[in-house]
Amino acid sequence: MVVELYKQHVAEKMQRFQEILQATGFGELVIGSGETKMQFQDDMPYSFKANPYFREWAPLATRAGCYLQIIAGASKPRLFLLTAEDIWHTAPESLPPGFEQSFEIIEYETVDEVKKCLGANAAFINETNTLEAVAEHWNPQAVIHQIDYQRRGKTPYEQESVREANRRAAPAHRAAQQAFMAGASEVQIAAAYLAGCDSRESEMPYGIIAGVNEHAAVLHHHNLFKQPQTPRSFLIDAGVEVYGYASDITRTYAYDSGSDFAAMIELMDVKQLELCAEGGIGKSPVDIHVLSQHKIAEVLIEFGVLNMSAEEAVANDIAGSFYPHGLGHHLGCNVHDKGGQLANAQGDILPPPAKYPKLRSGAPMVANQIHTVEPGLYFIPAYLDKLKAGEYAGSINWSRVDEFVPYGGIRIEDNIIVHADGSLENLTRDAFAGMQQ
């Protein structure tokens, strides 16, 4: 099934990119996978990952020195694969069986061989200009805007890749939860996650966030502790990559199921599902984010943290001190996929509102987009100190705040497809439910 989906995917991408060539006036487009980089004053390379503009065409995430050529009017893209003899390293990554049918594959040993195959008026997308003097137009912004805009709608192959990435991540999340409940350290929990999805750390779409207790309030807690802690709470934000496409899932757990913090997680879960249901074609991510601010305020009021209305908490940005990030983002080859603020293919931007400058998505939702929905509620000391010194300090129950500070915070994140028929598919909830069948 996946081979057929992939054939359809490449055919649809060819049609989209032919339109991009026509719109921008180029005769061909060449996309490089990227090159390996050596560590300073060393003969060891950094870990390599192909750029997302290449990965949306070919799932060769670890193969450097590849080039994809799309020629105006051509029916198939060309894929140039570096095949120099190397007895020191494992053979380079290959395309999955059947995927090669979608390309005209050309093996080469030196980049000069690639240059000879390029025509006039070529645009080149790559981190470094390895085709200099042949492809004169390196990373032209007009082309990048067009690519980012078309990436908003995902093909059935892309949707299935993210769906499978959710399926593979679900048992890994369960393994991490079990490790936490067994008293493991953050490093040990991350190791349990990797074993649960049978992956190497270098294959993760982003660094595993595994915060125990107060560390759950650190939004990007990557510096994992090796020492076990007396367990109270645990937040894990981790995905899996399939064919270059990512899942991005967060769950939060309480060690004591009878605690107020456990009850707060349950209420957050209800609010998160309500926010998931708000998505749809034409819906504004900004409006849904504002709604999420109200729902976080409602949770804080329910648990006696705030002595004000939800409307007051949002209007005076009190809720934002407990929830300082955006509700979500596009998901695809980039974990934070591109195109979320593009008004059109020409690159006009829909900037986030001044009150919420960190929002990654401002453009109305369109068919076949994949979004994350990840409201959070945190007890972050730096923000709490500012609140305590501010004019609304009297509207906050500080003894209640002190009870929750040792738990860090809560984030719950699902991956949602906005389908063309208007329906919503929650890939993450389906993945966890599928484990129980």
Task: Write out pLDDT tens, residues 6-29.
Answer: 999 999 999 999 999 999 999 999
Helices (H) and strands (E) in the chain, counts: 13, 16
Does residue 205 sit in the same domain as residue 329?
yes
Determine which helix (DSSP H) or strand (DSSP E) holds 124, and give its type and residue range. Answer: strand 122-125
Per-residue pLDDT tens over the stretch 355-385: 999 899 999 999 999 999 999 999 999 999 9
Does residue 137 sit in the same domain as residue 169?
no
Last residue of a domain, which of 131, 150, 169?
150
Range of the domain at 119: 2-150
Read off φ and ψ for residue 101, nearest 5 degrees.
Answer: -65, -20
Does residue 255 sit in the same domain as residue 174?
yes
- On the CB side of 197, CA atoms within 13 Å amount to 30
pLDDT band at 437 (very low <50, low <70, confident <90, very high): low
Does residue 135 sit in the same domain as residue 165?
no
State the Cα–Cα distance between residues 199 and 169, nearest whole angstrom: 10
Does residue 235 sit in the same domain as residue 89?
no
Last residue of a domain, which of 121, 150, 179?
150
Q: Which of 427, 423, 330, 328 is nearest to 369 (CA)?
A: 330
State the Cα–Cα distance between residues 428 and 371, nearest whole angstrom: 11
User: Which ranges in 282-426 belong to alpha helices (H)?
Assistant: 285-302, 310-315, 318-322, 381-388, 398-404
Per-residue pLDDT tens over the stretch 291-315: 999 999 999 999 999 999 999 999 9
Does residue 117 sit in the same domain as residue 198?
no
Token reading at 5 = 């989906």
> SS3 of 314, please?
helix
Per-residue pLDDT tens over the stretch 379-417: 999 999 999 999 999 999 999 999 999 999 999 999 999
| 422 DSSP assignment | S
| 38 DSSP assignment | B
Does residue 167 sit in the same domain as residue 142?
no
Does residue 313 sit in the same domain as residue 420?
yes
The residues that bridge with 249 in the sheet, in sequence order, are 238
pLDDT at 86: 79
**269 Cβ neighbours under 8 A, 6+ residues apart:** 412
Average pLDDT on 95-117 reads 95
The yes-or-no verdict on residue 252 having pLDDT over 80 is yes
Sign of CA dihedral 399, 400, 401, 402: positive
CATH number at residue 259: 3.90.230.10
The residues that bridge with 306 in the sheet, in sequence order, are 396
Read off φ and ψ for residue 354, nearest 5 degrees.
Answer: -60, -35
pLDDT at 133: 62
Counted domains in the chain: 2
Last residue of a domain, which of 150, 167, 191?
150
Determine which helix (DSSP H) or strand (DSSP E) holds 415, and give its type and residue range. Answer: strand 414-418
Q: What is the 3-state secondary structure (H, E, C) of 337-373?
A: CCCCCECCCCCCECCCCCCCCCCCCCCCCCCCEEEEE
CATH number at residue 88: 3.40.350.10
Does residue 29 sit in the same domain as residue 173?
no
Does residue 108 sit in the same domain as residue 212?
no
pTM for the model: 0.96
Does residue 110 sit in the same domain as residue 233?
no
Does residue 121 sit in the same domain as residue 236?
no
pLDDT at 104: 97
Are the C-beta atoms of residues 81 and 56 closer than 8 Å to each other?
no
